[in-house]
Amino acid sequence: MEKIRVFLRWMSIDPRHPEIAQAQYNELKTQIPSLYALLMVNAIAVAYTHYDVAPVYLTVGVLVPMLILTSIRMVAWIRARHVTLGPEDAIRKMRQTVILGSVMAVIYISWSLSLDGYGGPEERGHVALFIAITVIGCIFCLMNLPQAAFAVMFIVTVPYLVYYIGQDQDVYFAIAMNIFLVCLVVMQVLISGYRGFCKLVQSQSDLAAKQKETERLNAENARLAQTDALTDLPNRRYFFNRLETLIANLEGNETKFAVGVVDLDRFKPINDTYGHQLGDQLLMEVGSRLQKLGAERNIEVCRLGGDEFGFLYQGNTDEAAGTGQAICDLITEPYKIGDLTLTVGASCGIAVYPEAGKSAHALFDRSDYALYNSKTTSRGHTTVYSEEHEARIRSERAIETALQKADLDTEFQVYFQPVVSLPDQSVVGFEALARWHSPVLKNVPPDRFIAVAERTGQINRLTMSLFDKAVRQIKELPGDLSLSFNLSAQDITSAVTVHALLDAIERHGVNPRLITFEITETSVIGSYEVAEECLQTLRGAGVKLALDDFGTGYSSLGYLHRLPIDCVKVDRSFVAGIHEPVASGVITSIINLCRSMEMLCVVEGVEDRTQLELLSALRCNLVQGYHFAPPLPFDRIMESARANGTVEGLSLSSADGMEELRLSSA
Ligand code: C2E
Ligand code: CA
Ligand code: CA
């Protein structure tokens, strides 16, 4: 029963293998026309030999409609050669072919056998041969549709055999039997060939499917390789690939576009305070906001890494700054993460192609430079790279070159600015400030060359040379005066430099308590953990630490608590505005803060008497500024100290009393 069901399913063309059916049909298309041609030629030959012996209605009357029907089918198949059918249509067409083939077989076998009654042994022999040859020919032509081949064979050979058995003629019976057996063998061969064909098609289609899957995986891998896993935005690789493609497409064209870099402000403290997981969540939120904005405004936004994002803007470049600002403003809106409401800032730098650069790296560097400008001079805003920046870069390059060739011993000097205690107005120590007289560039201001030395990795060498000079000179002054020395971010994150500084202190035999290293919040923020370790080492050796430019950076109270700080230096911008309530309020609260934490507090930039009086009223006890003395060369200080024990008219006292100057609520 099961076998019959399988056989019937096979005969009706199994629809479960559409790819095989389609391949079968494609092969069949090319063979069926030959089948019909063979059929017609053979039939005409039989009709011809029987023309004289059989009735005309049989030789001509029946043959002609048969030939017409056969030709119509043949033409239909020839036309079908150029038509590609889908699997479903191919299956339908093949089912039709099985049925039609069976009908044709019935017609042809009936016609041939009806002719057998006429003529002598030769004519009868011709009929037997016609049937035999034609059926084998047809089976061969139908080898790609074995179902039809089987039907035709069955419909032809069985009646053929039965007919000759009925005739009781041994020779014809033997021929019929022979043909039947040959057909069986041929069918067996065809079916095994057909199985091979099916296997081949199946393996080809498996291979194609595998190839398709591989292609899909490759495409997916390529997408992932260009996607940032955290934010799902395109990543840095995509950004540069896209930038390069854009430039290649626009070469020789007038079209402009803008490259932007956006960096979050205050992300680091959030990460440090709330942990990396929350930091990641925040970045994801930022990413999803930017993705939305990008889609709305047709900007390609990417995450370049850390808290840095990049974008490509192909609209009107005059509006690029506005776009950058829209991004910054969007990032600045508060975030609700769990129970927390957080805010971060964002600054942006933009470079426009082709003015700012014609290569991906040039454009990126310029937008990064513009970003650096936003970060240092106008946080939260957007800077577009300009001619002015170009000139600045050129002068920085000149500084860089001169610095590389500079003789640190002869070209660099340390100037000393007195730190004055109030109310007695005596000098308790000095802040060492670097001066460079380059034979090529003449006098270069310290904030310029320090920044270049930091960027080019020459700062540690410079720090060591300057510190050595400063310690050597301060030692020559009478009394125990304190020395404040500025350190850069790279200094306080390098264990080697920290140990070299302590070595120098020991080598010169200076009391470490007289040394204060000044650091800024920004220099600590970059790599907090390493910096903290180095600062603890310094503090452990007995030197003091001061937080410089306080009030201008993050002024995060967290840092005051977490870092081993002894002293806060109030930035001079507050003294400059001391007549305004905001600035004087800031100074008052910093002084109060230092008082409650029992820290030293130096107010910088005191330039006139009224400022001094206002500060005295706030019970400020350490000051620095042009009102007392500018930074002076060592010789000048040494001279007047030797002559009358003063500097710019201020008496030199000792740093011994410094500890008492720690502001205390008492
Ligand atoms: P800073 O550490 O904040 O140094 C104070 C700056 O204010 C000095 O500028 C000083 O000349 C200036 N200044 C002092 N009193 C007054 C005043 O009453 N009014 C005004 N308007 N300015 C006053 P300078 O010497 O040009 O140094 C600039 C910056 O360069 C320093 O700022 C410091 O950050 C850096 N720097 C200087 N020397 C070194 C050094 O040896 N190493 C490192 N890492 N940085 C240094
Ligand atoms: Ca300083
Ligand atoms: Ca300062």
The overall pTM is greater than 0.75:
no
CA distance 286 to 82: 57
Q: Which residues contact 200 (CB under 8 A, 6 or more apart)?
A: none
Shared domain check, 255 and 171? no
Residue 556, pLDDT above cutoff 70: no
pLDDT mean over 248-270: 92
Q: Give the ligand 1 atom nearest the CA of 520.
A: 34
Q: Which residues contact 342 (CB under 8 A, 6 or more apart)?
A: 270, 274, 282, 334, 335
Shared domain check, 281 and 364? yes
Tokens describing residue 273: 């305070």
On average, the pLDDT of the chain sits at: 92
Say whether 307 is catalytic: yes
Any domain includes 331: yes
Residue 559, pLDDT above cutoff 80: no
Any domain includes 437: no
Predicted pLDDT of residue 632: 97
Q: Residue 417 Cα, ligand 1 centroid: separation in angstroms?
A: 9
- The answer, yes or no, to whether any atom of ligand 1 lies below 6 A from the CB of 605, is yes
Shared domain check, 179 and 270? no
Residue 169: which pLDDT band, with cuts at 50, 70 and 90? confident
Q: What is the pLDDT of residues 598-646, one digit of tens each?
A: 999 999 999 999 999 999 999 999 999 999 999 999 999 999 999 999 9
Shared domain check, 367 and 241? yes
Shared domain check, 240 and 200? no
Q: Give the ligand 1 atom nearest the CA of 445.
A: 26
Residue 176: which pLDDT band, with cuts at 50, 70 and 90? confident
Shared domain check, 265 and 134? no
- The answer, yes or no, to whether any atom of ligand 1 lies below 6 A from the CB of 445, is yes
Q: What is the pLDDT of residues 208-236, one digit of tens each?
A: 999 999 999 999 999 999 999 999 999 99
CATH number reported for the structural domain that contains residue 288 in this entry: 3.30.70.270
Any domain includes 284: yes
Among 307, 368, 491, 571, the one annotated catalytic: 307
Residue 446, pLDDT above cutoff 60: yes
Using a pLDDT cut of 70, give the percent of the chain over it.
99
Shared domain check, 172 and 256? no
Sign of the dihedral defined by the CA atoms of residues 135, 141, 146, 151, in that order: negative
Q: Residue 623 Cα, ligand 1 centroid: separation in angstroms?
A: 14
- The answer, yes or no, to whether any atom of ligand 1 lies below 6 A from the CB of 447, is yes
Which of 321, 352, 385 is the C-terminal boundary of a domain?
A: 385
Any domain includes 445: no
Please report, for residues 104, 109, 540, the alpha-carbon distance to residue 61 in angstroms, rounded to integers and kept in the order given.
17, 16, 123
Smallest CA separation from ligand 1 atom 11, residue:
631
Shared domain check, 125 and 63? yes
Q: Give the ligand 1 atom nearest the CA of 414.
A: 41
Which domain range does residue 588 map to?
A: 566-627
Any domain includes 8: yes
- The answer, yes or no, to whether any atom of ligand 1 lies below 6 A from the CB of 631, is yes
Provide DSSP, 200-251.
HHHHHHHHHHHHHHHHHHHHHHHHHHTB-TTT-SB-HHHHHHHHHHHHHHHT
Q: Residue 314 Cα, ligand 3 centroid: separation in angstroms?
A: 42
Q: Residue 373 Cα, ligand 3 centroid: separation in angstroms?
A: 20
Provide DSSP, 534-566.
HHHHHHHTT-EEEEEEETTS---HHHHHHS---
Any domain includes 592: yes
Tokens describing residue 283: 């970045």
Q: What is the pLDDT of residues 44-78, one digit of tens each?
A: 999 999 998 999 998 999 999 999 999 999 999 99
Residue 153: which pLDDT band, with cuts at 50, 70 and 90? very high
* Nearest 10 degrees: Cα torsion 46, 49, 54, 60: 60
Neighbours of ion ligand 2 (CB under 5 A): 486, 518, 548
Cβ count near 434 (within 10 Å): 24
- The answer, yes or no, to whether any atom of ligand 1 lies below 6 A from the CB of 434, is yes
Any domain includes 142: yes
- The answer, yes or no, to whether any atom of ligand 1 lies below 6 A from the CB of 487, is yes
Smallest CA separation from ligand 1 atom 27, residue:
446
Report helix, strand and coil shares of the chain as percent, to nearest 5: 65, 15, 20
Tokens describing residue 141: 């032509």
Shared domain check, 250 and 177? no
Residue 664: which pLDDT band, with cuts at 50, 70 and 90? low
Count up the domains in the chain and report the number.
3
Shared domain check, 200 and 69? yes
- The answer, yes or no, to whether any atom of ligand 1 lies below 6 A from the CB of 626, is yes
Shared domain check, 145 and 28? yes
Predicted pLDDT of residue 665: 54
CA distance 238 to 252: 24
Which is it for strands 426-438 and 442-444: parallel, antiparallel or unpaired? antiparallel
pLDDT mean over 638-665: 84
Between residues 3 and 504, the one the model is more confident about:
504
Shared domain check, 134 and 38? yes
